[in-house]
Chain A
Amino acid sequence: MKLWALFEFVFLALLSSGYHLAISQNAGQCGSISLKQLVTNVGSDHNVTCNFCSTGAADTIRWEYAGNLLSSNLYTKVNSTASMVSLLNLGLTSRKGENLTCTSETESYRTLVRTGYPPDAPQDLECVTQNFVVLICSWKPGRDTNIETVYRACPGNSNGCTEVGTNNFVERDFYVFQDLLLQITAINYLGTRTSELFRRTERDFVFQPYTPELLRVLKGPSDFRLTVEWNESGQKYEHYVRIRSISNDSVVLFPGDKAWSDWSPLLTLDGLDTSNQTKDKIYPVDGTVLEVGTSLKFCCVADKGKIVEELTFGDLNTSTIELSNRSQAVRVQNIAASIESGTNVVCRLNPAEYIGAVIYIGYPPDTPKNLSCETRDLQTLNCTWHPGRLTSLVSKRGTKYSLIDGSLREPLSCAEASKIYPDYWCGFPISNGSGIHNISLHAKNPLGETQSHILVDVTRVFHPFAPHQLRQEAITSITVTVSWSDQQDYTGTGLLCEMVIRDDSGAIMLRNYPITGGPKNARHTVILNNLRPYTRYLITARYSSPHFWKWSKWSNIIHVTTEQAAPSVSLNIWRRIKVTESCKDSVKRNVTLYWKPLEAAESHGPVLSYSTTWAKVGSNLSYSIETPTSNSEIQIDQAGYIITVIAQNIVGTSPPSVIRIRPHSDDVNLESVKVSGVGDGFNLTWQRNQAESCGYTIQWCPFLNDSECNITWQKFPSNVTSVALKSDTFQDGVRYNLEVHECRNDGDYLLKRLVGYTRELAPSEAPKLSIKETTGNSVHIQWDNIPVVKQRGFIEGFKVYYSKLYNDSAAFKPTDVQIQNIVGSPPKIINISDTKTFTITGLEPGTTYKVALSAYTGGGESPSRGVTVTTPNSPIAVILGVTLPLVGIITLGIILSIFCYRKQEWIKETFYPDIPDPKNSKILQDGNLPQGGNLCKTLEPKDCTPNEVQVVEEKPIAMETEKALEGNDKGEDVPEDSSDADNQNQGVVPYSPHRVPAESSGKTNPAFEAAALPSVYASEVTYTSIRDPGYQQQETPGDGSIEDTTEVIVKSGYQPQIHRATNVAPNREQPEVEELVPHASAYQPQAHRQSWSLDSGDFPLPETESIGSPTSINSQAFLIPERLLGEELDFRPNVKLWSLPFFQNSRMSSDSNNS
């Protein structure tokens, strides 16, 4: 092949045009085709001539191309022996080429046509070495040219070029420390293209080992360890195991990339389940760590002679794949993270044996989050981070962190998260307390490795410890000196100390002090100034670095109270003057001085006393008193005075407050003027009287009761003549007396006297109303004033309500009738506030009226107070009223008398018959009179009822039971009247068919009776009976005295009717019966008592002859009259028992409803 290529190349060199190859033969020679071989571009056109030797052959010519006959219009006859065919727009031929054949009858000639493309320039040179001796550099040839293309590789210049042939790789010696230069030229018949000059360094080379080849696989001493032997030559094996290799050389030896070798051919191994292994196995092996989300197959292989029964993976329900008797597999898709102790894969074998493996499924470590470092002592740098997503792997499979810093020689392995550091942390020493550290943190676990980096400037991550042992050093009234120490050696380090000073009101002052740190425990001192005297302060401090990173914690808090100082402001004082004695010459006046106590911020310490000094105007003589309270009282005469008040604390006195009292003069008594409030105060205006006014004082006091009111005042400067007076003390509905005083040189003058309410309310009380006079058609009423405190506003008028009272009952209603209750005429409104009488006219005589009165203010109407009044009748009405009934009675008497007279005989017969005479009696006459004692026969019934008395003795039980059950017994005709019971006891009315059954139903609940009867003898039975009377009775210990009772009960099942009266429980059993009642209301008796229910129809009929009588459900009366059954006396208890089911039934139904 190579030779052929060389041959072609020679031709190529000859044909310098190189456009296409057309090997010509002796043109025009007889017996030839014009082109022996044609290699040309796809799409080109060519003419080919065929010269035959025999004449006339051109007429019988056939042209074939690629096995197809060409149509005759494609070729032309040149002469009788020659024909020319035109090949137009040649398509892509096969790689071997297509034959073009001209055939005549006797001759046939052929030429080969091949088409293709010129080569592309070679690209992407890659060099691989497999042995570090030879480099194999290959390139991409680009488009397929369809015809043979050969390559020439030149090392940068044309010297030393290698003709490569058709391969697209070239082998070069592997040199290091030298770049490889290579230029590739691609050549074919249709063209030549040269690549760029490739330059490849050693780093660009790839080391790809030879493809290994597995020879055999040996099982190692431990599970799943294989010893693999291979060689690198060409023997072939089949499947199951294959291998590939990659270089593990370090960077130093070879800087280029490493690539996997190709896979070795597969080596057939015996299947484990077909081999004669001696141990059971499970795969993957115990302790394998897998990543969450992996999908894989777990496989269990049993030893020879065993069968795999079951294979489970954790608590996952997966279907097993039966591979063979001896092996099973479980395919788990997307496995979930396991718990700390791992996920168990358990394989149960037969004969019984368990094999298993613990697989740990987790995540590769997350990139450490929030990595940050700081220093607190300038000697160690502590880095903390958050591990990010948990890996679910712990212990030796857990994530291991290591820290790498340029200043550290070896990576620092880091501690795990602890309680102190919820995040992970690592600390390492730093030499000089400054500098920049490039820190990288590596996280590694069996599934992977990640890292994060941080650049740390130590001075910017300085987090100082809090100032230590803060304490006060000195105190004045306005300054406090404090000191503290450093917990660490911060010598020469800049620090910023922030002081927080908080007073008792909560106001906070912040002060910052730059500090230069000192050695450990050295103290720093600062003076906190501009504080207030006698104030308690809380002081605390904290540090930060001048390059703020974080505040330290707060230091301890100290409590400091500054020293006292003299009060800083004068007192706000006011006075009240009262003339106590006024004779012709001498006037004595009492002056009460008031002042407002100083605020704590003004007094600068507790005020010990107030000093009041007064002196007559123009006199040097002054008097002085001291009081501890906030007012003082002095007596002066008619002259003008100057009074001075000062407050005094332990340090000094306040500036004096001066007030002038002008000489006594008989003031014009100003009338109070009403003033309307504005809700929360008063709007006041006044005239300015004097140009030299020294201010105004408004004084007010509330009228709460008759005692003297508490004066309050407010001072205003002299330029104010109108104010909106407001105070927290103002209350709605309270009358205030206000005074406006003007301050002048010689004292204060009263300008205005006012009275008003900040907001009027309705009076809280109605005026007291009374009737003064009543006529036939008018009523004159009068009332009293409402007390001022209860007026709660200025009374504007009154409203009078009145209406007729139509029925008598209404007349008895309380007189304090509400307005709403009075219907009738609209109220008469009296708009005069000071009138106190009113006459209601236009009334009807002899009629009762309700009259009510209320007062109203701007705030509303008071409650009303009412009275009932009846206007006197007219005389005619009185006369008629007396005479008419009188006439009626007389008339009735007369009619009655007439009737009686006429029916005299009948009345006598009816009401007063003749008394028969015994002598005329028929009995006596007939001589039938029995002898002596026989007379008692008529009284026989009374004597013959002793048994009744016995029966009735149980009545009290019945009554008690009845009461206990009454609540549930509504609708039942249970007698409650004890007189009924009495009747029965006496036997006078021995029996009432309607009542007795019902009564007895209250008396004897079958359950109770069944319980109660035996309990006379054995109390245990009582309880068992309650639960199951039907059966428990049988269990009663053989006690002869009760045998018949129990027998009967047993016989009749649940039939309580057959009890004899003699078995009625004596009275002493009452408590038990009562006690049982609540039990009876529980579910147990009902449960087996269903058979009793008449509604259910299962009520057991007595087996003995029907002694009692069935009763109607609804009426509870006996359907068969008692006397028809005979033996009345014996039946009485039975009758009672008969009705028990009803009782029980109703109880049951109500119970079941409840439940």
Chain B
Amino acid sequence: MGSPFSDPDFSLPEVQLEYLPQASIPYLIWRRQTHQQRLAANYQAYSLYLEFLQLVLDDLQALGLQGAPGQLQEELTFTRRQVEGLVSNVGSLTVAMGYPRPEVKDPLDSTTYGRTNFERKVRGYIVIREYRFWIDRTERDFKLLTYYFPA
């Protein structure tokens, strides 16, 4: 995406994307979550990330960068497919544990987001950045769940 996005020390800590689920949560709240809450948070977050990842893919196309083989688009498509699987599994797990399937709001309102090339780049960056945090959170969520439900 070019400098400064590709610079190693680049971050946009102050910038957030509206409606993008954030992994950030006070520790005690996270720790005190019920299983149902925990699973629901994951389910809702990744359901939204599915939409956002699709948005980033669309942005990529709009930026005219869809053609390059073996690059961002392929990785994103792969990631999105993984997230689809994850959402499906978490959903099944929730139902299997006797909880109702969590509701997910429609997150995207196309008028809310800018459509300049620059804004598309920033948006892609933030989605991926936040997605990484969520993956970390999910990993620990499931560690915790395995603790309560040893195999």
Q: Interface residues, chain A, CB within 8 Å of chain B?
A: 285-287, 312, 314-315, 338-346, 352-358, 394-398
Instruction: Name the distance in Å between B120's Cβ and chain A's nearest Cβ.
Output: 8
Task: Please report which residues of chain B, range 1-25, place their CB below 8 angstroms from some CB of chain A when the two chains form the complex.
Answer: 1-5, 7, 12, 14-15
Nearest to B63 among chain A residues (CB) is A341
**Cα-based distance from A1088 to B12 in the complex (angstroms):** 49
Contact with A356, one of B14, B64, B65, B118 (Cβ below 8 angstroms): B118
Q: Is the CB of A286 within 8 A of B65?
A: no
Query: Which chain B residues border A341 with CB–CB below 8 Å?
Result: 1-2, 63, 65, 121
Q: Is the CB of B64 within 8 A of A315?
A: no
Q: Is the CB of A314 within 8 A of B117?
A: no
Q: Interface residues, chain B, CB within 8 Å of chain A?
A: 1-5, 7, 12, 14-15, 63-65, 67-68, 116-119, 121-122
Instruction: Name the distance in Å between B66's Cβ and chain A's nearest Cβ.
Output: 8
Query: Which chain A residues border B118 with CB–CB below 8 Å?
Result: 286, 344-346, 355-358
Contact with B3, one of A287, A314, A357, A396 (Cβ below 8 angstroms): A314
**Cα-based distance from A286 to B63 in the complex (angstroms):** 12
Contact with B2, one of A314, A352, A394, A398 (Cβ below 8 angstroms): A314
Query: Which chain B residues border A338 with CB–CB below 8 Å?
Result: 2
Q: Is the CB of B3 within 8 A of A286?
A: no
Query: Which chain B residues border A398 with CB–CB below 8 Å?
Result: 64
Nearest to A358 among chain B residues (CB) is B117
**Cα-based distance from A355 to B7 in the complex (angstroms):** 18
Q: Is the CB of B63 within 8 A of A344?
A: no
Q: Is the CB of B122 within 8 A of A356?
A: yes
Q: Is the CB of B14 within 8 A of A395?
A: no
Given A315-B4, A339-B2, A344-B4, CB of A357 within 8 Å of CB of B64: no
Nearest to B118 among chain A residues (CB) is A356
Query: Which chain A residues border B116 with CB–CB below 8 Å?
Result: 285-287, 357-358
Show 27 A/B contacts (Cβ-Cβ < 8 Å), sorted by A: A285-B116, A286-B117, A287-B117, A312-B4, A314-B2, A315-B3, A339-B2, A340-B64, A340-B68, A341-B1, A341-B2, A341-B121, A353-B15, A354-B12, A354-B122, A355-B118, A356-B121, A357-B117, A358-B63, A358-B116, A358-B117, A358-B118, A358-B121, A394-B67, A395-B63, A395-B64, A395-B65
Contact with A344, one of B5, B12, B65 (Cβ below 8 angstroms): B5
Query: Which chain A residues border B7 with CB–CB below 8 Å?
Result: 315
Interface of B is mostly: loop
**Cα-based distance from A339 to B117 in the complex (angstroms):** 14
Instruction: Name the distance in Å between A444's Cβ and chain B's nearest Cβ.
Output: 16
Instruction: Name the distance in Å between A420's Cβ and chain B's nearest Cβ.
Output: 16
Q: Is the CB of A353 within 8 A of B121?
A: no
Query: Which chain A residues border B3 with CB–CB below 8 Å?
Result: 314-315, 344
Which of A339, A341, A352 has its CB near the most chain B CB atoms (within 10 A)? Answer: A341
Query: Which chain B residues border A314 with CB–CB below 8 Å?
Result: 2-3
Nearest to A346 among chain B residues (CB) is B4
Q: A342-B2, A355-B118 are in contact. List 4 more A-B contacts (CB 8 A).
A: A285-B116, A358-B63, A395-B67, A397-B64
**Cα-based distance from A394 to B14 in the complex (angstroms):** 32
Nearest to A287 among chain B residues (CB) is B117
Nearest to A351 among chain B residues (CB) is B14
Given A286-B117, A315-B7, CB of A344 within 8 Å of CB of B64: no
Instruction: Name the distance in Å between A185's Cβ and chain B's nearest Cβ.
Output: 64
**Cα-based distance from A741 to B78 in the complex (angstroms):** 93
Q: Is the CB of B2 within 8 A of A353?
A: no
**Cα-based distance from A505 to B2 in the complex (angstroms):** 61
**Cα-based distance from A358 to B121 in the complex (angstroms):** 9
Question: What number of A-B contacts does a CB cutoff of 8 Å give?
Answer: 68
Q: Is the CB of B117 within 8 A of A342?
A: yes
**Cα-based distance from A344 to B116 in the complex (angstroms):** 12
**Cα-based distance from A394 to B61 in the complex (angstroms):** 12
Query: Which chain B residues border A355 with CB–CB below 8 Å?
Result: 118
Query: Which chain B residues border A356 with CB–CB below 8 Å?
Result: 118-119, 121-122
**Cα-based distance from A396 to B7 in the complex (angstroms):** 26
Nearest to A316 among chain B residues (CB) is B3
Query: Which chain B residues border A358 with CB–CB below 8 Å?
Result: 63, 116-118, 121
**Cα-based distance from A352 to B65 in the complex (angstroms):** 29
**Cα-based distance from A357 to B5 in the complex (angstroms):** 13
**Cα-based distance from A342 to B63 in the complex (angstroms):** 9
Instruction: Name the distance in Å between A847's Cβ and chain B's nearest Cβ.
Output: 95
Nearest to A398 among chain B residues (CB) is B64
Query: Which chain A residues border B68 with CB–CB below 8 Å?
Result: 340
Query: Which chain A residues border B12 with CB–CB below 8 Å?
Result: 354
Nearest to A344 among chain B residues (CB) is B2
Q: Is the CB of A354 within 8 A of B15?
A: yes
Query: Which chain A residues border B1 with CB–CB below 8 Å?
Result: 341, 344
Query: Which chain A residues border B5 with CB–CB below 8 Å?
Result: 344
Leading 7 A-B pairs by shortest Cβ distance: A395-B64, A286-B116, A358-B117, A352-B14, A315-B3, A356-B118, A358-B118
**Cα-based distance from A341 to B65 in the complex (angstroms):** 7
Query: Which chain B residues border A397 with CB–CB below 8 Å?
Result: 64
**Cα-based distance from A315 to B1 in the complex (angstroms):** 12
Query: Which chain B residues border A396 with CB–CB below 8 Å?
Result: 64
Q: Is the CB of B67 within 8 A of A343?
A: no
**Cα-based distance from A346 to B3 in the complex (angstroms):** 10
Instruction: Name the distance in Å between A300's Cβ and chain B's nearest Cβ.
Output: 12
Nearest to A355 among chain B residues (CB) is B118
Q: Is the CB of B14 within 8 A of A353?
A: yes
Query: Which chain B residues border A342 with CB–CB below 8 Å?
Result: 2, 63, 117
**Cα-based distance from A397 to B63 in the complex (angstroms):** 10
**Cα-based distance from A415 to B103 in the complex (angstroms):** 47
Instruction: Name the distance in Å between A279's Cβ and chain B's nearest Cβ.
Output: 11
Contact with A394, one of B64, B121, B122 (Cβ below 8 angstroms): B64
Instruction: Name the distance in Å between A354's Cβ and chain B's nearest Cβ.
Output: 6
Q: Is the CB of B63 within 8 A of A343?
A: no
**Cα-based distance from A314 to B64 in the complex (angstroms):** 19
Query: Which chain B residues border A287 with CB–CB below 8 Å?
Result: 116-117
Q: Is the CB of A340 within 8 A of B65?
A: yes
**Cα-based distance from A756 to B44 in the complex (angstroms):** 107
Nearest to B61 among chain A residues (CB) is A395
**Cα-based distance from A396 to B5 in the complex (angstroms):** 22
Query: Which chain A residues border B119 with CB–CB below 8 Å?
Result: 286, 356
**Cα-based distance from A159 to B65 in the complex (angstroms):** 72
Nearest to B13 among chain A residues (CB) is A352
Instruction: Name the distance in Å between A651's Cβ and chain B's nearest Cβ.
Output: 64
**Cα-based distance from A251 to B49 in the complex (angstroms):** 56
**Cα-based distance from A19 to B7 in the complex (angstroms):** 85
Query: Which chain B residues border A357 with CB–CB below 8 Å?
Result: 116-118
Query: Which chain A residues border B63 with CB–CB below 8 Å?
Result: 341-342, 358, 395
Nearest to A315 among chain B residues (CB) is B3
**Cα-based distance from A315 to B5 in the complex (angstroms):** 10
Instruction: Name the distance in Å between A372's Cβ and chain B's nearest Cβ.
Output: 26
Query: Which chain A residues border B15 with CB–CB below 8 Å?
Result: 352-354
**Cα-based distance from A294 to B44 in the complex (angstroms):** 49
**Cα-based distance from A286 to B5 in the complex (angstroms):** 16
Instruction: Name the distance in Å between A752's Cβ and chain B's nearest Cβ.
Output: 85
Query: Which chain B residues border A315 with CB–CB below 8 Å?
Result: 3-4, 7
Which of B5, B65, B68, B118 has its CB near the most chain A CB atoms (within 10 A)? Answer: B118
Instruction: Name the distance in Å between A290's Cβ and chain B's nearest Cβ.
Output: 14
**Cα-based distance from A342 to B64 in the complex (angstroms):** 10
**Cα-based distance from A285 to B117 in the complex (angstroms):** 10
**Cα-based distance from A345 to B7 in the complex (angstroms):** 14
Contact with B121, one of A285, A312, A344 (Cβ below 8 angstroms): A344
**Cα-based distance from A314 to B5 in the complex (angstroms):** 10
Instruction: Name the distance in Å between B74's Cβ and chain A's nearest Cβ.
Output: 16
Instruction: Name the distance in Å between B132's Cβ and chain A's nearest Cβ.
Output: 20
Nearest to B7 among chain A residues (CB) is A315
**Cα-based distance from A394 to B68 in the complex (angstroms):** 11
Instruction: Name the distance in Å between A362's Cβ and chain B's nearest Cβ.
Output: 12
**Cα-based distance from A353 to B15 in the complex (angstroms):** 7
Which of B3, B14, B68 has its CB near the most chain A CB atoms (within 10 A)? Answer: B3
Query: Which chain A residues border B122 with CB–CB below 8 Å?
Result: 354, 356
